[in-house]
Amino acid sequence: MWTSEWKDEYRRKLCSAAEAAKAVRSGDLIVLPICLGQPSNLIMDAIADRKDEVSDVEFLANLIVRPYKIFKPEYSGSFNVTTAFVSTRPLRARFPAENGYGPYAPISVFSSSKMFSVYRRPTVTSLMVTPPDDDGFVNLGPDLMFTRTLVEGRMTSQGPMGGARTVIAEVNDQYVPVRGNTRVHISKFTHIVENSTPLPAAPPPPVSDSHRRIAQNVVSLLRDRDSIQIGIGAIPMIISDLIVDADLKDIGIFTEMLPTGAPKWVEKGICTNRFKSFRPGEITCNFMGPVGELYDFVRDNPLVGFQTNEITNNPAVIGSEERMVGINGGIEVDLTSQVASMSIGNHMLSGFGGQSDFAMGCKISKLGRFIIAMQATARDSQGELTSRIVPYLTPGSLVGTLACHVDYVATEFGIAGPLDGMPFEKRAEALIEIAHPRFQDELVRAAKERKLFR
C-alpha cells in the first residue's frame, strides 16, 4: 500500500463529481472543513443537483467562502442548512435577522473533535487536497480545524471513533501544500474527484481611522517575547500591519488563524518564535483565510506548522505559553465587561469559534493577557449611531467571553484595563471612559441604576 499499490486504489476511487454525489443519502449529515479546506463548487453543486432524489439532509456549514448553490431557496426542501459560524457572505445571506438563531449550533473549536466523533458524527464530508506524493499521501493544506476528525475520527481507549462514512476528496493541483500535521493517505477516502481550480482570494476589508486608532491602542499592550493570537476582521488585519512598525522583538505566533501580517513580521525579524513553549522557532496555526499574499508564504514553509484544533485551541496548550496574548473582537460589551461576540439579540453574526478557548488559555498563561478590540459605536438598522458599550447586553445576545476572562478592552477612545480583579464599579468606570463621549452621560446614569456605582 505504501509503494505503487496505492495507485491502483486511487484509480478505483477516481470518479466524477456527479458519481461521488450519489453517495449522499436521505437523512445524512454533511460537514465540511472551513475556508480553504472546503471543496470547490464542483462537488457541492453536484450534491445540490440531487435535491429531487434526497430529503432531510442536514448541511452544517461553517465559514463558507464559496457561493454554493445549495444555499439558494429552491434547495431548502431537501437540504436543511445549519451553522456554527456565520461570518462570511454566503452564510449571512442564508441567515437573515428574521431567522433568529434557531438554526445555529453552539460549537467551540476545541471540543469540536469530541462532538464530531461521538455526539454528532457526520456521514458525509468533502475536502480539498493536493495530488498524492510518491507514497500515496496527499496534503490537507492550510486548514486543520475539523479536517482530520471528519476524515479519520479519533482514537480512544475503546478504539477509533468517528470519521465520516463517505469522504470525498477533491484533488486540486493548484492547492497549497503546507507543513505540520497535514499528510493523509488516499486509503482514507471513499471517492476521489480531480479538479484543477484556482483558490479564492478575498479583498481586504475596508479600513477606517477608528480602526487604526483601535489597532494602535492594542499594539501598545504588546511586549517582547509575547506569543500572539489574532482573530478575524478589519481590526486584526490593521493590528498585523502596525506590528511591523512596532519596536518589538522575538514575538511568536500561536493562533487559530494565521495573521495576514505574518510574512512581514518574519521578514523584518520581529517574529522569531524563539521563546514559544510549543515548537519554538515555528509559527503554530490552525488555518488561514483566503488571503492571496499568504499562499506563497505558507507553501511548504518549514517555519509554519499547521496543527489540529486539539492543539491550537486546547486551553492547556495555549496556557503553557508564558506570555500568551489573545486579541479578539466583540459586538457589544456591557458595563460588567461581559462580551457578546456572536449575535445582536437573536441575529447571528458569527459564532463561538475559538474566542472562549483563547480566553481560558490566556488566563492560564503566567503572563497572559486577553484583549477585546472593538469600535465604540455602530449604526442601527435606521442608520442611527449607537454605543457598543452598553448598560446591558441586547436581550438574546449570546455571551462569547465571560467578564472574569477579559483583561483589556480597547476602542478608538482608549484602553480599559487591566480589568482582572477590578470590582464592577471600577470596571464600569473604565469602560465608560473608552465609550464614545456622546454616550458617556447616559452610561453613567445606567451604571447608577444597575447599582454599579455607589
CA 340 to chain CA mean position, Å? 16
Cell of 233: 476582521
d(CA 198, CA 210): 35
Cell of 25: 443519502
Can you state the angle between helices 437-449 and 424-433, rounded to 10 degrees? 160
SS3 string, 46-72, reads: HHHCCCCCCCCEEEEEECCCCCCHHHC
d(CA 267, CA 269): 5
Beta-strand relationship, 414-416 and 408-411 = antiparallel
Residue 170 burial (C-beta neighbours within 10 Å; 0-12, 13-18, 19+): buried
Beta-strand relationship, 304-306 and 179-180 = parallel
- Is 256 annotated as catalytic? yes
d(CA 357, CA 402): 12
**Beta partners for 389?**
333
Assign 36 to helix, strand or coil.
Answer: helix
Distance (Å) of CA 450 to CA 70, 76, 223, 346, 424: 47, 45, 36, 23, 11
Per the residue annotation, which of 58, 256, 282, 429 is the catalytic one? 256
Q: Yes or no: say if 41 and 198 are a contact pair by the CB < 8 Å rule.
A: no
Assign 345 to helix, strand or coil.
Answer: coil
d(CA 165, CA 314): 27
Spatial CB neighbours of 11, under 8 Å, sequence gap ≥ 6: none
Spatial CB neighbours of 159, under 8 Å, sequence gap ≥ 6: none
Assign 179 to helix, strand or coil.
Answer: strand
Closest Cα partner for 257 from 284, 225, 217? 284
Catalytic site residues? 256
